[in-house]
Amino acid sequence: MATHQLLLLPGDGIGVEAMHEVANIIETLNKVSGKVVFETEHDLVGGAAIDAHGVPLTESALKKALNADAVIFGAVGGSKWDDVAYEIRPEAGLLRLRKDLGLFANLRPAICYPALADASSLKRELVEGLDIMIVRELTGGVYFGEPKEIVTLENGEKRAIDTQLYTTHEIERIAKVAFDLAGKRQNKVHSAEKRNVMKSGVLWNEVVTATHKSYAPSVGLEHILADNCAMQLVRNPKQFDVIVTDNLFGDVLSDAAAMLTGSLGMLPSASLGAPDEKTGRRLSLYEPVHGSAPDIAGQDLANPIATIASFAMALRYTFNMGQEADMIDQAIANVLADGLRTADIMQDGMTQVGTKAMGAAIIKHLETLAA
């Protein structure tokens, strides 16, 4: 029986509560799967690590993350740590993980469960059955390019500079991730940039085109200007399968796509590193899109689905356990179809449940599906 090592980093606020439900799901999977055993280790990150160790991520936790087969991350932050130095704020723990694990590819699915189609701000027919994957470049572009500074000019005025910077290999490797994913989905990639006004957009377009030709000619490729992509996402989102884009546009487009599906509490994500040239092993971190939600933390109000669905993504993308991932996704869909809702997705005529009851209901369906 294969053994996989998972590092669970619950973090702060509702991260802790949601991770508790994920740990129960892992335990259930160990019982029902019959082919793998997940061994889990826990550590602190974010505010919890600051309280215990004075830093948002210890070297020992980082080492565990580098050695784990996958990291499942909860959420970090809260007003308690508003006054800590910028370099050791809770979010710095997550940024350090992304950087040191080399997580350059951020995968954000936008899936609309049929039972929640009415919770979207768009009409049911536009979003029902929606299944988009946004592939965002995560370690390059304008968030990291140098120079990045605010300078005072001779006349006393200030000038701010950010630098949008991409190299061929950065674009090529993210394009390959998108083509690989599309090959297992609807075989269609839209590449979004602003080649009409940005040099980095011109290069992005050229490299994606060349990578398509040499690496994945059988996958459909369309180029789209990022502003048009935003418009099309709210006009007719079901035209998309996989969208690949840079760090900045990906940040904006993935948030827009996400809200098509209802609540923050439903949205998982994956961040992947490059495959090791010899072993093919790639580092990975899975986390919900939402933060630590201090307003509802500790009250059994958090929706654990985003974190549970993030673990399902780990099964799919790190452990090649698509069948088990499908089972978890189906268990979530079944619970929603039963009418159970946490407060954030509550609708008339449905039954409101807390974090624990939602986790338990998903496990019950998981056990039935696995039987």
Question: Could you list the active site residues?
Answer: 143, 194, 227, 251, 255
Binding mask 215-254 for ligand NAD (x = CB under 6 A): ----------------------------------------
Give the Cα separation of 307 and 270 in Å (integer): 11
76 counts as binding ligand NAD under rule CB under 6 A: yes
State the number of binding residues for ligand NAD (CB under 6 A).
21
Task: Report, in Å, the least distance between residue 354 CB and ligand NAD.
Answer: 11
- SS3 state of residue 59: helix
Calpha distance 238→132 (Å, rounded): 8
256-285 mask for ligand NAD (x: CB under 6 A)?
Answer: --------xx--------------------
Other Cβ atoms less than 10 A from the Cβ of 47: the count is 26
For residue 127, the minimal CB distance to ligand NAD (Å) is 20
Distance, in Å, from the CA atom of 284 to the CA atom of 203, rounded to the nearest integer, reads: 27
Q: Residue 304 Cβ, how far from ligand NAD at the closest point, in Å?
A: 7
Residue 303 binds to ligand NAD (criterion: CB under 6 A) = yes
Give min distance, CB of 101 to ligand NAD, in A: 15
Identify the three-state secondary structure at position 208. helix
- DSSP conformation letters of 306-366: HHHHHHHHHHHHTS--HHHHHHHHHHHHHHHHTTEE-GGG--TTSEE--HHHHHHHHHHHH
Query: Which pair of structure tokens corresponds to residue 186?
Result: 């609807």
User: Considering the rule CB under 6 A, would residue 290 count as an interface residue with ligand NAD?
Assistant: yes
Nearer to ligand NAD, 4 or 89 (CB): 89
Please say which residue, 47 or 140, places its beta carbon nearer to ligand NAD: 47
Nearer to ligand NAD, 45 or 219 (CB): 45
CB burial of 102-125 (b: ≥16 within 10 Å; e: otherwise) equals bbbbbbbbbbbbebbbebbebeee
Q: Does 293 bind ligand NAD (CB under 6 A)?
A: yes
> β-strand 284-288 against 70-75: which pairing, if any?
parallel
Q: Does 291 bind ligand NAD (CB under 6 A)?
A: yes
**Counting contacts by CB under 6 A, is residue 302 touching ligand NAD?**
yes
Binding to ligand NAD by residue 296, rule CB under 6 A? yes
Which tokens sit at 369?
């599906």
Of the two residues 227 and 255, which places its CB atom closer to ligand NAD in the complex?
255
- Residue 358 is a binding residue for ligand NAD (CB under 6 A): no
Q: Report which of 148, 244, 251, 158 is spatially closest to residue 205, judged by C-alpha positions.
A: 244
Closest C-alpha among 34, 41, 29 to residue 1? 34
Q: Are 141 and 247 in contact (CB under 8 A)?
A: yes
Q: How many CB atoms lie within 10 A of CB 151?
A: 10
Q: In the complex with ligand NAD, which residue's Cβ is closer, 116 or 229?
A: 116
Binding mask 78-97 for ligand NAD (x = CB under 6 A): x------------x--x---
Name the nearest CA neighbour of 94 among 54, 44, 53, 164.
44
Q: How far is the CB of 144 from ligand NAD (least distance, A)?
A: 18
Q: Which of residues 336-355 bind ligand NAD (CB under 6 A)?
A: 344
Contact string 151-180 vs ligand NAD (x = CB under 6 A) = ------------------------------
Residues that bind ligand NAD (CB under 6 A): 14, 75-78, 91, 94, 264-265, 287, 290-296, 302-303, 306, 344
